[in-house]
Structure 1
Amino acid sequence: MPLFNVYPLYDVTPVSGKGVYVYDEKYTEYLDLYGGHAVISIGHAHPKYVEAVRSQVEKLGFYSNAIQNPLQTQLANKLETLSGCKDYQLFLCNSGAEANENALKLASFKTEKSRVIAFKNGFHGRTSAAVAATDNKNIIAPINAQQKVTILDLNDIDAVKTELEKGDVCAVIVEFIQGVGGLDEATAEFFEQVDVLCKINNTLFIADEVQSGYGRSGKFFAFQHYNVTPDIISIAKGMGNGFPIGGILIHPSIEAKFGMLGTTFGGNHLACAAGLSVLEVIEEQELINNVNEISCYFLKLAKTIPQIKKIKGKGLMLGLEFDFEVGELRKKLIYDYQIFTGGAMNKKLLRILPPLTVKKDHINQFFEALVDALDEN
């Protein structure tokens, strides 16, 4: 049976990983500065992570959410402590798309309204409401387009105010650093005014932290760079270091009711064990400090390369913008220099999303390769 051919694939077959490196079937070593779309947060095959998953699967890999699961409570408490999101409630699911889907559904339940405001170049997932709020017509099927979504420009606060005052908007959803769209950010004034306007107009403010969360921006969450209080925070990617897990953090003002949300696999024992180990490693190895240190070093080196026209993002969620499309450069970095990087909807942007454990030597390796690759063009 053939696979459904929806992915353009590079001719590389990783079979193992260790730290910031992956290895193919010929034992070729690749420096991973993309982390499988920002998923690998604490490094490939981190020993604490491996032991947590191994130990849990030996005991109990799964049971439904109809029973007590103390691991969920442990994960919630650890997340509250490290994130600083005091008194928020946690609902666990399986992916970023599912997290945003549940966030939007919960906003509609709470406000009894149905329209969503999202922003140009935003990406929130591929499930029905989440993809409708995504600014990419190529991935929105007619069944998704039935959702009521208004896409606005970042930083256009007047447009946000006008739409909110119509009284039918249940949620404003935003990435504080856009991922797939190309690392664009709004101003602090914009984010903070949107937060205020949402509260005035009985609209929930959803922070999509699926890619930027868990320390990647230099703070635990990217919204924490600003004076805002999201009603719902969606999380996934780096949350499980490769194990499928997602969730939403829900403000204490939102009351739960039996049956309001649900999932079969969300918050299963294995996922919680993986998620707990990630938080423990972030804390024990002080990885957010490492993010900020390595980010400063990365920016310092990037500014010395004249072909780089703009540096975007924060922490270890970074983009290098050129005056040419970077598709061939990415191929050269993979095939000639054995370095994984990422692309974006902005075809001139090279995305850098390494494990949070990355060191200066790895950054040196990247920039040496980048300079050589650019000189060959």
Structure 2
Amino acid sequence: MELFDVYKMMPIALAYAKGYHVYDTQGREYLDFYGGHAVISIGHSHPHYIAALTRQLHSIGYYSNAVDFPLRNQLAEKLGELAGYEGYSLFLCNSGAEAMENALKLASFHTGKKKVVAFKGGFHGRTSAAVSITDNASIQAPINEGAGVVFLEPEREELLEEALSAGDVCAVVIEGIRGVGGIYVPSAAFLKSIKELCRKWEVAFICDEIQSGYGRTGKFFAHQHAGVAPDLITIAKGMGNGFPVGGVLIHPKFKASYGLLGTTFGGNPLACAASLAVLEVLEKEALINNAAAMGNYLKEQLKTIPEIVDITGEGLMLGISFAGSVKPIQQALTEEARVLTGSSALPNQIRLLPPLTIGKTAIDVFISKLKGVLAGVEA
């Protein structure tokens, strides 16, 4: 049997990883400025993370959500404390797409409505409801068509109010910072308008923090730069540092009832151990502050490169744009400079999503390698 060939593969095969480096099967070292789609928040093979998972494996690896498990409650308490959402509740699941799926269901259950407003360029997952609100027709199967989604241009409050005034919308969904569709930071004014209009028209405000959350932007969540509090917040990626886990932070106005939501593996002991370890490392090593400081330092160094025409994003979630296609640049970065970076839907943009443990020395190495690659590509 062969693997179902649906991924565009990088020209490397990895064997192990440590800190902000990964190593291929031939032992060659690569600087990781992509973090595996922003998943690696506390660095590869962090000793505290490994110890936590190892302890849990020696204790209990899995049991049903129908029994109490203290670590699950500890995770919810710690997450609420560090994120500043103590008054919210937490539903645990397995991925970002599943988190979005459940957030949309909660919004629809709560309002009794089924239409959703999403924004052009957004990406929210590949499960049925999540992909229907993703602005990419190429990944929507026929079964996803006609799902009652309105796609709007961001920063257009008048269009949003017009859509909500029809009275049939259950939720407005936006990414804290757009990732896959090209790094875009919603203005604080626009996020505040979404909050106000959702309150006015009794619509749920869902913020997708799957890629932009967990300290990556220098705040626990990207929307906190704007000082707003969404009704539902979806999380995953950096939450487990590689262990599959996701969740929804839920405003207390959403009432739980038995059987309303469910998942077999969500909140399992191993996922909770991994997630709690991530929070502990974020706190102990002040990695959210580090993301802010190193993001600023990285921006300063990037501004010294004349070929870069634009820099967008916050903290360690940055997009660097060039005049033309970045394909030859990324190919040379991977194959010659041994640096891993990410792409986006914008053909001229590279996404930078390094582990939050990154420091000035590694950033200086990256800048030097990028300058060398650009000189070679131009030549």
Instruction: Report deviation, 1:176.
Output: 2.1
Instruction: Report deviation, 1:120.
Output: 0.6
Q: Is 2:239 the counterpart of 1:223?
A: no
**Structure 2 match to 1:271:** 271
Q: Deviations over 1:49-76 (max 9, x none)?
A: 0011111011111011111111110000
CA contact (8 A) 2:311 2:318 kept: yes
Mind listing any 5+ residue stretches in structure 1 that lack a counterpart?
none
What RMSD over aligned residues (CA atoms) do the two structures have, in Å?
0.7
Instruction: Report deviation, 1:341.
Output: 0.2
**Structure 1 match to 2:131:** 131
**Structure 1 match to 2:109:** 109
Q: Deviations over 1:182-211 (max 9, x none)?
A: 111222111101110001111000010000
Distance 1:164 1:297 in 2: 41
Q: Is 2:206 the counterpart of 1:206?
A: yes
TM-score by length of structure 1 reads 0.99
**Structure 2 match to 1:359:** 359
* Aligned 1:260-339 pairs, distance under 5 A: 260-339=260-339
- Which amino acid is 1:11 matched to? P
Identity across aligned pairs (percent)?
A: 53
Distance 1:121 1:185 in 2: 12
**Structure 1 match to 2:255:** 255
Structure 1 SS opposite 2:343: coil
Q: Is 2:98 the counterpart of 1:98?
A: yes
Q: Is 2:173 the counterpart of 1:173?
A: yes
TM-score by length of structure 2 reads 0.99
- Which amino acid is 1:143 matched to? I
Q: Deviations over 1:157-199 (max 9, x none)?
A: 1110000000000000000210101111222111101110001
Instruction: Report deviation, 1:227.
Output: 2.9
Q: Deviations over 1:348-375 (max 9, x none)?
A: 1010000000011111111101111111
Distance 1:42 1:85 in 2: 21
Structure 2 SS opposite 1:92: strand
Q: Deviations over 1:52-103 (max 9, x none)?
A: 1111011111011111111110000000110011210000000000000000
**Structure 1 match to 2:22:** 22
Distance 1:123 1:332 in 2: 27
**Structure 2 match to 1:6:** 6
Q: Is 2:32 the counterpart of 1:45?
A: no
* Aligned 1:44-83 pairs, distance under 5 A: 44-83=44-83
User: May I ask how many residue pairs the two structures share in their alignment?
Assistant: 377
Q: Which runs of 4+ in 1 moved over 6 A?
A: none
Distance 1:58 1:324 in 2: 52
Distance 1:43 1:151 in 2: 36
Distance 1:306 1:284 in 2: 38
